């Protein structure tokens, strides 16, 4: 392992028990194979596909995840909110929720000999939550931590919004990794200014599903327009992640690699 680089694994949205099982299978293998220094995962769908509980959080920390980000489902399960208020969990909620929302939107981490800023933002296109401008708030983070390596999880629906924020911050941050759509995109790249970008890291969840949810329930909702209680699907699972390698001297990402594996539940 090169002592002058940091390897960070970022795992896409973990959906329910199937996704958690996929993480428990692949994470130890990847840590050994890739010499990973730190693991981040989007955990907003940990508990039955919507929100997260402290119990499920602990399960994933025991599996080897070091820190979690989230998104618009962070408030779906009230169990976690009190822990966010007391800073008892290594979970970020989006930075651009209005002032007074419990929890933190960014954190400074010491990894090897470097300080890494992990920040979480929520998009505004096609997402109804009332949040502050992610462009303005993300630029504040970039300006306040110019001497550190910044990694942003941008939880957003529109590819254009994700790409626009990445280009807006190009050269000011180390990486912008998109989450939320549960579909891994094949557009990973390092932008001209040196910022690593991918539109969406993808998900850890059932393959034979609609974004991790049982197909029939989603189809019924589209056909009738009536609300349906969604249920996480079963069967074989995707394990989607992204591996960043960062040069500690230049504080630049030197490579970004997609990971797309299949976990058999049989």
155 counts as catalytic: no
- Give the residue carrying structure tokens 């557009």: 187
Indicate the average pLDDT of the chain. Answer: 95
Q: Which of 201, 148, 213 is nearest to 222 (CA)?
A: 213
Would you state the pLDDT for residue 1?
44
Q: CA dihedral defined by 214, 54, 243, 160, rounded to 10 degrees?
A: 60
Give the C-alpha separation, 189 to 257, whole Å.
9
Would you state the pLDDT for residue 3?
64
Q: How many domains does the chain have?
A: 1
CATH number, domain with residue 252: 3.60.21.10
Identify the burial level of 25 via C-beta atoms within 10 angstroms of its C-beta, where 0-12 means exposed, 13-18 middle and 19 or more buried: middle
2: confidence class by pLDDT, cuts 50, 70, 90: low
Domain span at 206: 5-263
Tell me the two tokens of residue 89. 């969990």
Q: Dihedral of CA 206/209/211/217: which sign?
A: negative
Query: pLDDT tens digit string along 52-103?
Result: 999 999 999 999 999 999 999 999 998 999 899 887 899 999 999 999 999 9
Q: Out of 25, 73, 167, 182, pick the active-site residue.
A: 73
**CA neighbours closer than 13 Å in the CB half-sphere of residue 175:** 32
Identify the burial level of 54 via C-beta atoms within 10 angstroms of its C-beta, where 0-12 means exposed, 13-18 middle and 19 or more buried: middle
227: confidence class by pLDDT, cuts 50, 70, 90: confident
**If you average pLDDT over residues 171-182, what whole number do you get?**
98
Would you state the pLDDT for residue 10?
98
């Amino acid at each position: 392992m090169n002592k002058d680089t940091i390897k960070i694994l970022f795992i896409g949205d973990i959906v329910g028990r199937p996704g958690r099982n996929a993480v428990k299978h692949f994470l130890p293998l990847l840590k050994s194979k890739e010499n990973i220094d730190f693991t981040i995962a989007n955990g907003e769908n940990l508990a039955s596909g919507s929100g997260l509980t402290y119990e499920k959080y602990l399960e994933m920390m025991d599996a080897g995840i070091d820190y979690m980000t989230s998104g618009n489902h962070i408030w779906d399960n009230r169990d976690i909110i009190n822990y966010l208020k007391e800073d008892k969990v290594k979970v970020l909620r989006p930075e651009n929720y209005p002032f007074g929302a419990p929890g933190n939107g960014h954190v400074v981490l010491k990894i090897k000999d470097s300080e890494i800023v992990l920040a979480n933002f929520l998009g505004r296109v096609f997402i109804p939550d009332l949040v502050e401008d992610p462009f303005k708030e993300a630029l504040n983070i970039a300006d306040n931590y110019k001497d550190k390596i910044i990694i942003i999880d941008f939880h957003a629906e529109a590819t254009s919004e994700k790409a626009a924020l990445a280009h807006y911050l190009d050269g000011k941050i180390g990486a912008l990794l998109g989450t939320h759509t549960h579909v891994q995109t094949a557009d990973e790249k390092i932008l001209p200014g040196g910022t690593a970008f991918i539109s969406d890291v993808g998900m850890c969840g059932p393959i034979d599903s609609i974004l991790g949810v049982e197909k029939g329930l989603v189809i019924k909702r589209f056909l009738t327009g009536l609300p349906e209680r969604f249920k996480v699907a079963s069967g074989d699972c995707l394990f989607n992640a992204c591996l960043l390698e960062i040069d500690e001297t230049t504080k630049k990402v030197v490579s970004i690699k997609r990971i797309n594996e299949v976990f058999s539940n049989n």
